Amino acid sequence: MSVVGSLIEEHLGVKTTVQPGVGLPNFVAVANGEVDIAMSYSLWAGMYIKGYYEEYGLPPANAKNVAYLLGATIPDYCALVIVYKDVPANTFAELIELIKKGAGKPIIPASARSVDEYIYRALFKKYGLDFDEFKIPRPGGGPAVEAFIEGKYDVILDASPRLSPQWQEINIRVPDKVKVIYFSEDYIDYLIKFYGPGAFVKDVLPKGLYKYITEDYPTVCSSQIIIVRADLPEDLVYHIARLLNEYRALITESVAAFAEYDPTRGFITGGLPFHPGAEKYYREKGYIK
């Protein structure tokens, strides 16, 4: 994201505060007026708009102070459940029953307060279960996958980019020993409604993406978005949107999620309103009718 600040200063002669990274603190920082621009996931917008942050004990932030600037137009961060073949479940409903009985030992490759965590919190809630009661370890990608491959856990509850290091490692080392657990259409619809329109979108991981994905895998995905303070001047944000669009090749060199950025295909906003300056630019370009 440092390239964004450099572009703005070089071409507009304006200094802005741009926060690196893509996690939850970025959304909170923009919402609380601590930075002007940051990258976030569409999930965080949905979570704060719907008010779930209070239930989950997350930092307070007013989503009304956040506006949408730009985003990847292809979903990036997708849910996938991987288990060993001897786990007697093929659907998520069956897997939940095993976990309830202690017959399935799950691990989450992301750290606490991750997109992954809140996907599975919501799905556990569908069953009236308290996610925290299960004390599922969340040690981070490398350690989680290593523990899974060593057989210490037999279920991975994950969400990752399509070319995930975790999924690739499993594909290299134990591809014939694992299978995926499928989400039903009801589960996918439930997740999309739970966090509100835009937090997640439907997608499919194609058959053969990894050896253990033997059929197309319906899933939900979150997307990386660039957010701004809603009170930034309209003219400034108009020209920021123009710069990011005109220099999209430069942006993608440092932000891989935007490699497929194509505003003619539409926008994933996480439910946030467009900043008026960005909306004006996109309408002039014909990206919004």
Q: Are 75 and 222 in contact (CB under 8 A)?
A: yes
Mean of the pLDDT values across residues 8-35?
91
pLDDT interval class at 257 (50, 70, 90): low
Question: Is the pLDDT confidence value at 37 over 70?
Answer: yes
Determine whether domain 77-222 maps to CATH 2.60.120.620: no
Distance CA 45, CA 50 (A): 9
Q: Which residue has the higher pLDDT, 6 or 38?
A: 38
- Of residues 264, 268, 269, the one with CA closest to residue 287: 264
- Please state whether beta strands 224-229 and 178-181 pair in parallel, antiparallel, or not at all (unpaired): unpaired
Q: Are 252 and 261 in contact (CB under 8 A)?
A: yes
CA atoms within 13 A on the CB side of 183: 26
Q: Are 2 and 20 in contact (CB under 8 A)?
A: yes
Cβ-Cβ contacts under 8 Å for 140 (sequence gap 6 or more)? 109, 110, 111
Q: Which residue has the higher pLDDT, 234 or 266?
A: 234
pLDDT in tens, 93-151: 999 999 999 888 999 998 888 889 999 999 999 989 999 999 999 999 999 999 999 99
Question: Is the pLDDT confidence value at 185 over 90?
Answer: yes
Cβ-Cβ contacts under 8 Å for 3 (sequence gap 6 or more)? 250, 251, 253, 254, 255
Mean of the pLDDT values across residues 62-87?
89
Strand partners, 158: 80
pLDDT at 73: 63
* Dihedral of alpha carbons 157, 220, 250, 234, sign: negative
DSSP 217: E
Domain spanning 2-74+223-285: which CATH class is it, in words? alpha beta
Question: Is the pLDDT confidence value at 217 over 90?
Answer: yes
Q: Chain centroid to CA 146: how far?
A: 23
pLDDT at 6: 85
pLDDT at 267: 83
pLDDT at 55: 87
Write down the pTM of the prediction.
0.90
Question: Is the pLDDT confidence value at 275 over 90?
Answer: yes
pLDDT at 72: 65
pLDDT at 265: 79
Other beta carbons within 10 Å of 70: 29
Question: What residues does each domain of the chain span?
Answer: 2-74+223-285, 77-222
Q: Which two tokens stand for residue 267?
A: 């926008």
Please indicate whether the domains covering 2-74+223-285 and 77-222 agree at the CATH topology level.
yes
pLDDT at 77: 87
pLDDT at 270: 86
Q: Which residue has the higher pLDDT, 277 or 259?
A: 277
- Of residues 150, 156, 152, the one with CA closest to residue 174: 150
Largest CA distance in the chain: 61
**Which residue's entry shows tokens 């937090």?**
199
Question: Is the pLDDT confidence value at 262 over 90?
Answer: no
Mean of the pLDDT values across residues 45-55?
90
% of the chain at pLDDT higher than 90: 64
Radius of gyration of the chain, Cα coordinates, nearest whole angstrom? 20
pLDDT in tens, 277-288: 999 999 999 998
pLDDT at 167: 97
- Please state whether beta strands 106-107 and 155-161 pair in parallel, antiparallel, or not at all (unpaired): parallel
% of the chain at pLDDT higher than 70: 97
- Taking phi first (over 0 means left), then psi (-120 to 50 degrees means alpha), and beta for anything else, what does residue 95 get? alpha
